[in-house]
């Protein structure tokens, strides 16, 4: 008798938020933008778009001032989405305060269904804007992939591993990006690498991987005359559908 094949699960839905830059003052503004109001607008847009995500992934700079109050605002803003959340630190975050306030949301490994594993890496360098992955983080990645079995791997971090807009140098990107990409593409299960930090969306492919960045929930950046400037485009988020066979579909949605 031939055993029946296991039924397909259907795609796992993941929503990526990034660069909220929240402040202790709930009415605080950056670049003349009410950053907490923008985050609430983005979470409302997620609900309006009809996503019932298996997880929310926040890729750093949740707090601009590293305050406990800012992380509390973040918790409250995400509560209506009623799903599990994972976060990683950005260069503006206070890692210890973030862990103390958000607790298990900071766990670095999350399995979605039977076929996907999410690995969250800390690319921050103390008191610096640029990023670097330490030996400890590479070891975390290697162990997480080795123990994943036949699961597909999505890796998340804060800093961008590529210059994502024109020929403008980016001294704030991931310092050891070439090593990271070489290391990650050696794992054939690695399918997706996502990040924040740049305050704009990005999408490309390297070898076996899709490389993706999410827009900020706060304010966006563009390049004009060789300089980074605030872009008038609306705040938003990235959605991903992760399929059993390792393929994905993804897009960006912005508040109206």
What is 12-247's CATH number, 3.40.50.920, 3.20.190.10, 3.40.50.300, 3.60.21.10?
A: 3.60.21.10
- Ranges 161-165, 203-207, 242-246, most confident: 242-246
Q: What is the mean pLDDT of residues 30-52?
A: 97
State how far the alpha carbon of 256 is from the alpha carbons of 42, 63, 104, 106, 234, in Å: 9, 24, 32, 30, 8
Place of tokens 């601009």: 64
Q: How confident is the model over 236-244, as a mean pLDDT?
A: 98
- Taking the domains of the chain in order of start, what are their residue ranges? 12-247
Distance, in Å, from the CA atom of 91 to the CA atom of 125, rounded to the nearest integer, reads: 7
The rounded distance, in Å, linking the Cα atoms of 115 and 54 is: 13
Count CB-CB contacts under 10 A for residue 50.
Answer: 6
How much is the pTM?
0.94
Strands of 190-195's sheet in order across = 109-112, 116-120, 152-156, 190-195, 209-213, 202-206
Q: Please state whether 249 falls in left (phi above 0), alpha (psi between -120 and 50) or beta.
A: beta
> pLDDT at position 174, please?
97
Question: Above 70 in pLDDT, residue 109?
Answer: yes
Q: Is the pLDDT of residue 127 over 70?
A: yes
For residue 140, give the H/E element and its range. helix 135-146
| Backbone phi, psi, residue 61, to 5° | 50, 45
What local confidence, expressed as pLDDT, does residue 7 receive? 55
**Averaged pLDDT of the chain:** 94
Q: For residues 195 and 169, give the distance between their C-alpha atoms in angstroms, rounded to a whole number.
A: 18
């Amino acid at each position: 008798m031939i055993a029946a094949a296991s039924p397909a699960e259907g795609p796992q839905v993941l929503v990526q938020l990034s660069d909220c830059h929240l402040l202790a003052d709930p009415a605080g503004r950056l670049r003349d933008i009410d950053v907490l109001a923008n985050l609430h607008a983005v979470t409302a847009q997620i609900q309006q778009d009809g996503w019932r995500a298996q997880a929310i992934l926040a890729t750093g700079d949740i707090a601009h001032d590293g305050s406990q109050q800012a992380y509390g605002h973040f918790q409250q803003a995400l509560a209506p989405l009623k799903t599990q959340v994972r976060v990683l630190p950005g260069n503006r975050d206070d890692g210890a305060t973030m862990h103390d306030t958000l607790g298990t949301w900071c766990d670095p490994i999350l399995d979605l269904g039977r076929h996907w594993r999410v690995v969250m890496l800390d690319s921050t360098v103390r008191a610096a804007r640029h990023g670097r992955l330490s030996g400890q983080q590479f070891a975390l990645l290697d162990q997480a992939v080795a123990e994943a079995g036949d699961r597909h791997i999505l890796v998340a971090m804060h800093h961008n591993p590529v210059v994502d807009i024109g020929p403008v140098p980016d001294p704030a990107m991931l310092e050891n990006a070439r090593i990271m990409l070489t290391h990650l593409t050696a794992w054939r299960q690695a399918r997706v690498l996502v990040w924040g930090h740049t305050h704009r969306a990005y999408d490309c492919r390297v070898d076996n991987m899709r490389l993706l960045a999410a827009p900020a929930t706060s304010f966006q950046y563009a390049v004009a005359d060789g300089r980074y400037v605030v872009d008038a485009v609306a705040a938003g988020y990235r959605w991903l559908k992760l399929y059993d066979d390792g393929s994905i579909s993804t897009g960006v949605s912005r508040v109206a």
